[in-house]
Structure 1
Amino acid sequence: METVLRAASMYLLLMVVLKIAGRRTLLEMTSFDLILLLIISEATQQALLGNDFSVTGASLTIITLIVVDILFGMMKSRFPRVDRLIDGTAMILVEEGEVLSGRARRAGISIDDIMTAARSQGLERFDQIKFAILEKNGKISIIPVST
């Protein structure tokens, strides 16, 4: 039972921490982000398993994490408020070429992040962007101005 409680509590802790960190953490990873992810995964592994390195303990941990994930998925599909709380909603960052600075700052998105997404579509200036939208998955969608 201790293994199940450890797994469920670590799942919830990581969900809260990543929610607080914001969707910025879901964008393209830098080397710093990769290092941080590796350290977090090692610390999480130790917290999940404790001193139990048995196959049974690892299996029980994996099963618990999958069940908790499935339960959250079911809750999100049944209760829209839970979905918005966990995953958030899409957020407009640029509208008609104007950066909505407050929103970008709250989301932890820099102007460089927006321009990186714009350049991937061949856009070089904000006045070429009709909308830049931070999606629920952390990606930035760019809708160019029609020519």
Structure 2
Amino acid sequence: MDEVLRTIAVYLILLVVFRLTGKRTLAQATSFDLVIVLVVGEATAQALLGEDFSVRRAAIVIVTLVLLQRGSDYLAWRSKTFDRITEGAPSLLISDGDVLAKELATHKLRESDIMEAARDKHGLERMDQIKWAVLEKSGDITVVPREEEASDAGVKSV
């Protein structure tokens, strides 16, 4: 019976904490958010199964970690410097069709990674069809086709 009560208590703690701290989709989650989820999962498991780890201690660990993460999100939202330090900044990988090899090496990317994004998002087949490629803070690669490629692909240019 103790296990059932512990499970209900941990469930309610997690429900309240995550409802109060706001919503974020998996697409918006950072790699550090994943680390927080893993640590929260370990604290939860210890509270549910561990003999020496109380539900109260698990609640303190979970709430502290989530508040620290949300505090970090808030500081990144309020301060561009903090955001740049903790989240990074977008990086230009291709500029006017020229591959910036140093940037690719810095981020451990290959030209094939850029072409994969170009094919997936715009149906492009060659590197010379790309005007810009940017590695976003999220890790996604944004590809902007050259003007003639954009109009050929049926994309409206502004």
User: TM-score, length-normalised on structure 1?
Assistant: 0.63
Q: Which residue is 1:11 aligned to?
A: none
State the match for 1:30 in structure 2: none
Alignment partners' CA distance in 1, 2:65 and 2:126: 44
1: distance between equivalents of 2:56 and 2:116?
45
- Report the Cα distance in structure 2 between the residues aligned to 1:114 and 1:53, rounded to whole angstroms: 47
* CA shift digits 1:6-39 (9 cap, x unpaired): xxxxxxxxxxxxxxxxxxx96xxxxxxxxxx89x
Aligned to 2:91: 91
In structure 2, give the amino acid aligned to 1:85. I
Paired residue secondary structure (1:92): strand
Q: Which residue of 1 aligns with 2:24?
A: none
Match of 1:45 in 2: 42
Q: Which has the larger radius of gyration?
A: 2
Question: Residue type matched to 2:42 in 1?
Answer: Q
Structure 1 Cα separation of the partners of residues 93 and 46 of structure 2: 41
Root-mean-square deviation (CA, aligned residues, Å) is 3.0
| 8 A contact 1:49–1:57 mirrored in 2 | no
Unpaired stretches in structure 1, ≥5 consecutive residues: 1-24, 27-36
Following the alignment from structure 1 to structure 2, what is the Cα–Cα distance between the partners of residues 45 and 142? 39
Say which structure, 1 or 2, has more relative contact order (CA 8 Å, 6+ apart).
1
Cα distance in structure 1, aligned partners of 2:46 and 2:101: 43
Number of residue pairs aligned between Structure 1 and Structure 2: 110
Q: CA–CA distance in 1 between the matches of 2:72 and 2:46? A: 22
Taking the TM superposition and a 5 Å limit, the aligned residue runs for 1:33-112 are 41=38, 45=42, 52-112=52-112
CA displacement at 1:49 relative to structure 2 = 5.4
3-state SS, counterpart of residue 141 of structure 1: strand
Using the aligned pairs only, state the percent identity. Answer: 36
Displacement after TM superposition at 1:110 (Å): 1.7
Per the normalisation by structure 2, the TM-score is 0.59
Q: Kindly provide the amino acid, as one letter, of the partner of residue 124 in structure 1.
A: E
Shift of 1:53: 4.0
Counterparts of 2:56 and 2:115, CA distance in 1 = 48
CA contact (8 A) 1:96 1:129 kept: yes
